Structure 1
Amino acid sequence: MSIYTHIRGHDGPLTDDLPDVAGLESAMALLTDAPAVWSTSAPVDVTDLLPAAATGRGYDDLYAALLSGDPTHTAPDDGLRALGVRLVTEADDRGPVRFGLTLLGSDDVDLLLEVGRHPVFTATAATRLTEVLPDPSVPLMRLARSVEGWPRVAVVSCLTECASPEVREWLVRDGFRHSAAEPYLIPIAARHLAEVLAGPVDPALLDSACEIISTLLDEAHFEVLDDIPDTPSLLAALLRKLDHADHTLGHLTLLTRLDAYLSGPDWDTRYRTRGWTLAWHETLTRRVRDLLSSPRWRPLVESGLRDPAHIHAALSGAPSQGIDPFPALLAHVRRTGEDWPMLLTWLTPHRLPEILAAAGEHPLAPAALDALAAALAPHPNQGPEFLLAALASPEPHTRAVATRTLTTWGPATWSPEIQTALRTAIATEPNDTLRQSMTQLLV
Structure 2
Amino acid sequence: MPSVVMDGVRTHHFAFTPDRDTAREVAGLLQERVPYRRLHDRLADAGALQLSDELVRELVGRRLGRRQVYEAGRWLAEHGTRREAVKVGIVLVGVSGSERDRELLLLLGTLEEFTLYAVVALLRTQPAGEGERAVYELARRVSGWGRIHAVERLEDTDDPEIKAWLLRDGFRNGVMDEYLAPLAATTGDLYAALLDPEPDEALVDGAGGILAALARGEGGPTTGLSAYGEAVPALARYADLAASGRATLQRLDHLLTIRRHLHQPPGHWLDRDVAALRRRYSDVIGQPRWTELALAGVQDPEGVGFDLARRCASRLGLPILPQLVARLRVDAADDATWQDVLGLADTGTLVALAEELLPLDALACGPAERVVVGNGHERALELVVSELEWHPGLGLPLIRAALAGRGVRARRCGLRAVRAWLRPPEEAVAWVRAAHASEPDAELRTDMADFLDGLRQAT
The TM-score, its normalising length taken from structure 2, stands at 0.75
Specify the alignment match of 2:191 in structure 1: 194
Partner AA of 1:380 in structure 2: P
Q: Does 1:114 align with 2:107?
A: yes
Contact 1:393 1:399 in 2 (8 A): yes
Among candidates 150, 157, 169, match of residue 152 of structure 2: 157
Residues 260-279 of structure 1 correspond to what in structure 2 (within 5 A)?
A: 260-262=260-262, 264-265=263-264, 267=265, 270-271=266-267, 273=268, 276-279=269-272
Aligned partners of 2:242 and 2:346: how far apart in 1? Answer: 37
Aligned partners of 2:185 and 2:10: how far apart in 1? Answer: 19
Among candidates 399, 404, 412, match of residue 392 of structure 1: 404
Aligned partners of 2:294 and 2:115: how far apart in 1? Answer: 43
Q: Does 1:432 align with 2:442?
A: yes
Work out which structure has the larger RCO, using CA pairs closer than 8 Å and 6 or more positions apart in sequence. Answer: 1
Q: Tell me the number of residue pairs that the alignment of Structure 1 and Structure 2 aligns.
A: 399
What residue ranges of structure 2 are gaps of 5+ in the alignment?
44-50, 361-376, 455-459
Specify the alignment match of 1:90 in structure 2: 75
Structure 1 residue 386: deviation in Å? 0.5
For residues 284-312 of structure 1, the C-alpha deviation after alignment (integer angstroms, 9 at most, x for no partner) is 11211221221212221221111332223
Specify the alignment match of 2:127 in structure 1: 133
Residues 273-292 of structure 1 correspond to what in structure 2 (within 5 A)?
A: 273=268, 276-292=269-285
Specify the alignment match of 1:335 in structure 2: 330
For residues 180-213 of structure 1, the C-alpha deviation after alignment (integer angstroms, 9 at most, x for no partner) is 3544233433443334434453323322332333
For residues 146-205 of structure 1, the C-alpha deviation after alignment (integer angstroms, 9 at most, x for no partner) is 334333322111111224222222223222334235442334334433344344533233
Change (3 A) 1:283 1:152: same
Specify the alignment match of 1:123 in structure 2: 116
Q: Does 1:382 align with 2:382?
A: no
Q: Once structures 1 and 2 are overlaid, which stretch shifts more, 29-38 or 420-429?
A: 29-38
For residues 228-265 of structure 1, the C-alpha deviation after alignment (integer angstroms, 9 at most, x for no partner) is 12210121121232133111122222222222222x24
Residues 168-247 of structure 1 correspond to what in structure 2 (within 5 A)?
A: 168-180=163-175, 182-191=177-186, 192=188, 193-199=190-196, 201-218=199-216, 221=219, 224-247=224-247
Structure 1 residue 332: deviation in Å? 0.9
Contact 1:341 1:371 in 2 (8 A): no
Structure 2 counterpart SS, 1:379: coil
Structure 1 residue 433: deviation in Å? 1.9
Partner AA of 2:159 in structure 1: S
Q: Does 1:366 align with 2:378?
A: yes
Specify the alignment match of 1:25 in structure 2: none
Structure 2 counterpart SS, 1:296: helix
Partner AA of 1:164 in structure 2: D
Change (3 A) 1:401 1:190: farther
Aligned partners of 1:189 and 1:86: how far apart in 2? Answer: 38
For residues 27-72 of structure 1, the C-alpha deviation after alignment (integer angstroms, 9 at most, x for no partner) is xx994553438652434499999xxx9xxxx893797899787232
Aligned partners of 2:315 and 2:5: how far apart in 1? Answer: 46
Structure 2 counterpart SS, 1:354: helix
Structure 1 residue 83: deviation in Å? 5.4
Structure 2 counterpart SS, 1:180: coil
Aligned partners of 1:30 and 1:252: how far apart in 2? Answer: 31
Structure 2 counterpart SS, 1:71: helix
Structure 1 residue 387: deviation in Å? 0.7
Structure 1 counterpart SS, 2:139: helix
